[in-house]
């Protein structure tokens, strides 16, 4: 039996990706991506190498749309992933300072 997944919430997206620009968060919510799809898109977007060979498939469907949203970013020369990573690193650094 196939499990029906519900669209992820804003809180769940932030839990997976980290802090996001409100417009980016809204675009992800509009895709109605499930939690697993957001996680997969974030994994693709934040990977330092090509994970497609390990997963034996490429980006498609909702995962591809969320990936594009994350990579497109804020338009200020930084991807949204870069913003999220930078924010997480700063918070981690403050916690250990």
Which pLDDT score is estimated for 84? 53
Residue pLDDT, tens place only, 13-46: 999 999 999 999 999 999 999 999 999 999 888 8
Give mean pLDDT, residues 69-73: 88
Residue pLDDT, tens place only, 55-66: 556 788 999 999
DSSP single-letter state for residue 7 = B
HSE-CB at 82 with a 13 A cutoff on CA atoms is 9
Q: Is 11 exposed, middle or buried (0-12, 13-18, 19+ CB in 10 A)?
A: exposed
Which pLDDT score is estimated for 54? 58
What is the per-residue DSSP string for 19-49? S--HHHHHHHHHTT-BHHHHHHHHHHHH-SS
Prediction pTM value: 0.69
Residue 97's pLDDT band, with cuts at 50, 70 and 90, is: very low
């Amino acid at each position: 039996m196939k499990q029906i997944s519900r669209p992820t919430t804003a809180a769940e997206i932030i839990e997976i990706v980290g802090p996001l620009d409100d417009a980016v968060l809204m675009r992800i919510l509009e895709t109605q991506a499930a939690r697993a799809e957001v996680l997969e898109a974030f994994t693709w977007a934040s990977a330092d190498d090509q994970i497609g060979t390990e997963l034996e498939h490429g980006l498609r469907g909702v995962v591809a749309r969320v990936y594009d949203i994350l990579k497109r970013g804020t338009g200020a020369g930084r991807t949204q992933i870069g913003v999220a990573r930078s924010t997480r690193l700063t918070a981690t650094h403050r916690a250990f300072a």
